[in-house]
Structure 1
């Protein structure tokens, strides 16, 4: 759960929340188009998936290079406005953001969002995916008021289109809470994340990826508020879930282990000596 810059403590509230908020951009290409070679399309889909894997392995700089070529080839084979080209282009923007290239990511997502509106419509789930990712990059860039406006719009659209219990709707609530945290409204953000964590656990279970992302974000804010014992407990749960699901060597597991160690050190230092 690495930081890509901006915000409280250098962007620590990013965590892996950005990947959660951009999860729908991180998808394999859709069905093979009939007007192109199935073998050629399969190659593009595999290269797109490989780029996604690089992002999730915390190798964003390599992913940027991989997606640059995938997007160019998709545009040549499928056309620049083809849905699969737009997916690859969204992935490239996400890779730039995860690599800390926020200005480039912002420009790419603005272009990608406009293209998705034209191709899919303003309220289509794929359009909302790009809009949500744009809101996250706005937050990471320090434009919290703009991020709140974008995420509020997405949250409303997703609740209407997908329902209150859909993962994407919960992700929008996560974005709004993180926006508030970055703006310094830690108390309301903490309350919103505690409620979101309760809802995510009830819907998806305690070891689900989204539940763990919310738990880690809630722990970060609790620590900032001085609720050290609560933060340690939540980080222990997040670390345990991530280690069991993703393994001890996964970047998220390693990062959570480091966060937990730091929180335990703060907890120990805050207790009176013998």
Structure 2
């Protein structure tokens, strides 16, 4: 969704507020739709602010435990976590999950998704093993109530596999993610974003579990598909390209990794900006595959690639593997009168693996 479409939703929300009043449910729903797409476009901090205001307004108009209020509270916590405040997100998500259990029931699909979202922020706040333990029974409950290949069950299973891997069980995570990717391929169209995410994470955990060739080859094909589906300048495409370059180097081709990262650095700077974290990650990756342990002094390569060096002085470089960014949980689409009654909380798979645990061989 481009900026023009976001502005269209902004105008629609402002029109609803002007014509119906700020506390009319239709106005609140239009604002929620606007906030959702702001988050989807990679602006979680702004979306968190919008959902925080919406949660307060929904609470005042409908009450703290109305399903629409719960959804706004869930999305507020989710976007707040994506913007970097996992500790506060975990606290808010815990409260939303408790209210969902009271209002909707333990096994309601929205409750399952909200509980899975809470588990994610437990992990992001530093307790990966705790997140994996919490998600295990949620997977079982979702499988029993929705079925093993229901889209929501697959998403919760994906979350569980991620935190199993983050807690150190990489082989088990690879096995779980392979099954999920295969089943995603059966449930979704090949170009569906969730199918692409599952393929990406299958490759990443295969690499973490030791099968670097499988990781490299899987990501190579995914680069082609992401470029075709999302476009060459899409942030997710850039991330997949970085991960492909990393596993190319790990598979014994440092020259290939350097070539891929040299091009990626220029594209990241052009698309994301000189100081974006992923531009910095790409520069560090290029430094490592060029200099290895001497990557603290990568100025010659950066002078060629981007015109300057911005690697932190004295910091040992690794080849970071930036994760595919998770998208904010989606609020229901703003309904047209008559107002829809059914709404659904969503959760998304957590992003995969950050920097390599050990520096790759040059």
TM-score of the pair, normalised by structure 1: 0.79
Whether the 8 Å contact between 2:21 and 2:27 is mirrored in structure 1 is no
CA displacement at 1:259 relative to structure 2:
2.3
Q: 1:168 to 1:70 in 2, by over 3 A?
A: same
- CA deviations on 1:53-95 (whole Å, 9 max, x unpaired) are 2222221111111111111111122222111011011000000
| Higher relative contact order, structure no. (Cα contacts within 8 Å, ≥ 6 residues apart) | 1
Distance 2:91 2:30 in 1: 26
1:228 Cα shift?
A: 2.5
TM-aligned CA distance change 1:66 to 1:243, over 3 Å: farther
Unaligned residue ranges in structure 2 (runs of 5+): 1-19, 257-362
What is the TM-score normalised by the length of structure 2? 0.60
Q: Which has the larger radius of gyration?
A: 2
In the alignment of these two chains, the number of paired residues is 236
Distance in 2 of aligned mates of 1:129 and 1:205: 22
Identify which of 222, 232, 239 aligns with 2:216: 232
**Which structure has more helix as a fraction of its residues?**
1
Q: Which runs of 5+ in 1 are unaligned?
A: 1-35
Distance 1:39 1:114, change over 3 A: closer
Q: What is the SS of the residue equivalent to 1:165?
A: coil
**Once superposed, what is the RMSD of the aligned Cα atoms?**
2.2
Q: Distance in 2 between matches of 1:201 and 1:231?
A: 18
Match of 1:50 in 2: 34
Aligned counterpart in structure 2 of residue 212 of structure 1, from 177, 187, 196: 196
Distance 1:69 1:217 in 2: 34
The answer to whether 1:127 aligns with 2:142 is no
The counterpart of 2:168, out of the listed 169, 184, 189, is 184
Taking structure 1 as reference, are residues 76 and 241 closer, same or farther at Cα in structure 2, changes over 3 Å only?
farther
What is the Cα deviation at residue 130 of structure 1? Answer: 0.5
